[in-house]
Amino acid sequence: MLERYSIQPPQGSRALINKAYRMDELTLMSELIEKAALDSRQVTAIRQKATGLVEQVRAERKKSTGIDSFLTEYSLSSDEGIALMCLAEALLRVPDNATVDSLIKDKLTSADWKAHRGQSESFFVNATTWALMLTGKVLTPEKADTVLSKALFKVLNRSGEGVVRKAVDTAMRIMSKQFVTGRTIHEALSRAKKKEAKGYRYSYDMLGEAALTAADAKRYFIAYQNAIEAIGLNVDKNATIYQRPGISIKLSALFPRYQESQHERVMAELPPKLLELAQLAKKYDIALTVDAEESERLELSLDIIERVFLDDSLHGWHGFGMAVQSYQKRAFYLLDWIADLARSKQRRMMVRLIKGAYWDSEIKKAQMQGMPEYPVFTRKVFTDVSFQACAKKLLTMTDAIYPAFATHNAYSVAMVLNLVGDYKDFEFQCLHGMGKELYEQIVPANRLGIPCRIYAPVGSHEDLLPYLVRRLLENGANSSFVNRIVDENAPISSLVEDPVSKANHLLGKINQNIPLPASIFLPERKNSSGIDFTDREAVAKLQQLYAAMDFSRWHAKPLLAGKQGGEVDRSVTSPQNFHHPIGRVNNATAEDLNWALTKAQQAFSAWRCMPVNERAACIERFAELLEAHTPELLAMTCLEAGKTWNDGIAEVREAIDFCRYYTMMAKKLMAKPMRLHGYTGELNELSLHARGVIACISPWNFPLAIFTDQVVAALVTGNCVIAKPAEQTSIIATFAVELMHEAGIPVDVVQVLPGSGEVIGAALVADHRIKGVIFTGSTQTAASINKTLATRGGEIIPLIAETGGQNAMIVDSSALLEQVTVDVITSAFGSAGQRCSALRVLFVQEEVYPRMIELLKGAMAELQIGDPRWLSTDIGPVIDNDALAGLKAHVHAMQQEHEIIYQCELPEDCDKGYFMPPTVIALKDMSALKREVFGPVLHVISYKRKALDNVIEQINGTGYGLTLGIHSRINQTVEYIRDRVHVGNCYVNRNMIGAVVGLQPFGGEGLSGTGPKAGGPYYLLRLCHERTYTVDTTAAGGNASLMSLPEGF
């Protein structure tokens, strides 16, 4: 299982690299401090040199017209800086004027541009500020305080929003020009000549982010080819390969599925493309450097680089290079592998040592995935130490490596200069538009005469946007050296500190601002642990566990107190292969149900009287057992429920999070009564108490997470539970209850009854011994349960029902369509569309509708549909034949009147299971949908911007209210929609599935459920009685507490 072929753990130097992937930060830093350490004379000399560089930079700053000054004036700590980043990210690609005007108004009306006018000595900054300030005045007609501003206001106001649009567009293009070398490679080559004459070199980067589609990848490949040809035809024939300009390549731009899970496809398709580009670079004897990307892609990139580098066609060429990110914990060990590879072919490899550009996303991703450690350092100074250690190491490998030190940090520059001594066969590197004043002290022949290669983006303004945002985030932050070196308020001494000395003082101190992923919710609760499927050693261990796993013992049966129950067993098969038996099920009988209810009633008194801390301890032990049994639970969710591995680990983690969240909440709510206000001489308390026996009826689409959610919430509040899992996934539920018993929860307190809803579920709900029902499933079944409870007589008991939704996403023309595409694919087709929260209807503003459909079709063509046992599978089967037949019938019916925009092809081996191809259908409006379609079918609707209210009416008109997605860069639009659409969970500029316990409590309104939200602070209250206790404390005579009060003054 896990992959079609056996994954081998890394060997040799690759094993050392992998060991450091998520190594304990302080342990690794202790080692790197030793490797990076310099003697006191060197440190003193470096600080003196760095101080001189900073002083020269600040002196030169007065002449600055570039982005360094701009970043200082508009730092990311200001509203204006944030507004600028949002504008830059969206403005230049929005196609319609109305949305452009709304975007400008949204970002500029609340910002104080006037405060920045004339504050900078840079003409560039002041010109931009004036444009922004004036447009802000147009859009916010506040009282003008000077004759000039009044006059300008009137002129611009009379001119209308077109002038505003032009002014802001000009300001944004001025800023963009600071980052881009040229719109075409020819323009970039022409602009570079002036700098090249001063001693600078260039490495050109064809702008564009990761390819989403095959068409994207083809376009990027052709752009790289053309760039290499253009560079090669313009080189100085007398220059060496290192003196010549080069090209930088992003592997993610060459293949739309460049990720570890697609290893087989990647290795078949990507290396030939990179080899072809390398051969072309060799033809012109120019350098080609592979850019570093996210940490999860590193191992895969090494496989590709190794295959290409070892190809005999590149013999004698010393221009192949790669970037190494010093913020990654693996950087120091990666250098050994690079040197060994180069020496094996007796060639040199160029190594660009950088700090790294994805730090914020690396931190967030590790937290979200519950990783044991971060792949990057959490402190900037630790990255500086790593950079220094790597720099020292590189300079011992110059037989195999041509070193390039990419930095804008004066101390790092001075450190490298100290280490190299008289050695000249190296270079610095910087980003175009940044660090100009620093390298003007280094590169010119009348200064130090040391070359610096400029990383030069090439492309249209539209292609610039993601790169621009990353640069702004990376260098606009207050801690950035680029920001602080030109900030006169930052003392020079703080800019030239020895990172080794500073890091030494931090050893033994965990970064409290960035706790480990497991600790981000402490002190209240632990975060659940995930599995890194990009870690080959971890995957290899999983494979070994599965090879030894005995699936034949999987057996779902009634788990009753003091009795064996169940009918004759039946075989269970997997939804991906209905010929493959995976276990057995014994359904419960009516007699079993009566027995379970009797035992649960008898157990209730003792369980409810147990202190909440003791009940919570049992649940916490259950969470630990779930974590310990993660591999088997993963296998169960895969084989019984048809879940992919990523969906499976998310489900196990969610179950664990429910346990820890509800125990935390129960201890807060139930540990002691709440003291209420009272008159003097009176005591008032409010306390929560269990209700009795709760029926938990759970679905097949989240057979562990929702099952655990229901059962644990009832148990921790002191109730006993009869659990009725979905027929399709009884094995998972039975195993979970066995673990609950192992954790110390008595067998008569939680019992499980596999069986049909008609036989077990209906009888369970109708029995008067049931004091509450928790149900997740269809709206129709919830209504039936509600009717039964209303007509059975006796006391009124609570029903918590979480049902379906006709979930929509609204995408306006300011949205980044590439991000929208990823989020739509995830939301609509993840888990084969079998989530209550899944996207069913996509509304797209008409101006961007054609491009959205083009991207969606291209991305869907890359999806891997098939057996979820394989790690490469994106979309697995639907749950059973009834589900498949219903989906096929819906698509067939839609075909009669509506256009099927795209439907994925099913591989041949899908005929053994219940596989539904992801499908997209165009509709005119939502009226064509009469019911929820529970599977991988997406409906898309084009809408006019002025018809947004009609879109909102359509969504509300369904009666459902579960989830909503909004993609817009205009806050006012987001708030407008949010205030009017009646849904339980609203997600902005992200996917709309995967609600996290305690962070996004889940549940809807209207036809989508009763509330309260699962995984939220009010859920447990519905499972409790509330009781007050009032005592007249003066009844014994006199009010002692009142009489003893001191005099008030």
Catalytic residue selected from 89, 802, 818, 847: 802
Q: Interior CA angle at 786 toward 781 and 789, to 5°?
A: 125
Helices 263-284 and 298-309, packing angle to 10 deg: 50
Asked if residues 436 and 185 have their Cβ atoms less than 8 Å apart, the reply is: no
Q: Three-state SS for 961? A: strand
DSSP of 645-691: HHHHHHHHHHHHHHHHHHHHHHHHHHSSPEEE---TTEEEEEEEEE-
Distance of CA 547 to the CA centre of its chain: 32
How far apart, in Å, are the Cα atoms of 136 and each of 96, 112, 167, 220, 306? 20, 9, 11, 38, 54
Q: In what order do the strands lie in the sheet with 750-752?
A: 563-564, 559-560, 750-752, 720-724, 693-697, 770-776, 799-802
Asked if residues 567 and 586 have their Cβ atoms less than 8 Å apart, the reply is: yes
Structure tokens at 235: 């080189």
DSSP of 870-885: BTT-SB---SSHHHHH
Q: Which residue has the tokens 């006059």?
A: 151
Distance (Å, whole) CA 38 – CA 419: 9
DSSP of 166-212: HHHHHHHHHHHHTT-SBSSHHHHHHHHHHHHHTTEEEEEEE------
Distance (Å, whole) CA 282 – CA 840: 50
Residue 86 annotated to the active site: no
Q: Which residue has the tokens 């509304």?
A: 843
Give me the amino acid identity at 482. V
Q: Three-state SS for 621? A: helix
Which among 344, 326, 343 has a CA at the least distance from the CA of 401? 343
Structure tokens at 366: 């590790």
Cα of first residue to Cα of last residue in the chain, in angstroms, is: 77
Three-state secondary structure string covering 251-304 = HHHHCCCCCHHHHHHHHHHHHHHHHHHHHHHHHHCCCEEECCCCHHHHHHHHHH
Phi and psi torsions of 969, nearest 5°: -95, 5
Asked if residues 495 and 411 have their Cβ atoms less than 8 Å apart, the reply is: yes
Structure tokens at 115: 């405060």
Three-state secondary structure string covering 62-97 = CCCCCHHHHHHHCCCCCHHHHHHHHHHHHHHHCCCH
Distance (Å, whole) CA 343 – CA 318: 11
Strand partners, 188: none
Distance (Å, whole) CA 931 – CA 723: 28
Helices 849-860 and 817-829, packing angle to 10 deg: 50
Catalytic residue selected from 86, 696, 720, 836: 836
Residue 802 annotated to the active site: yes
Q: Three-state SS for 938? A: strand
Distance (Å, whole) CA 420 – CA 426: 9
Side-chain-side CA neighbours of 37 within 13 Å: the count stands at 11
Distance (Å, whole) CA 983 – CA 973: 17
Distance of CA 878 to the CA centre of its chain: 26
Residues designated catalytic? 802, 836
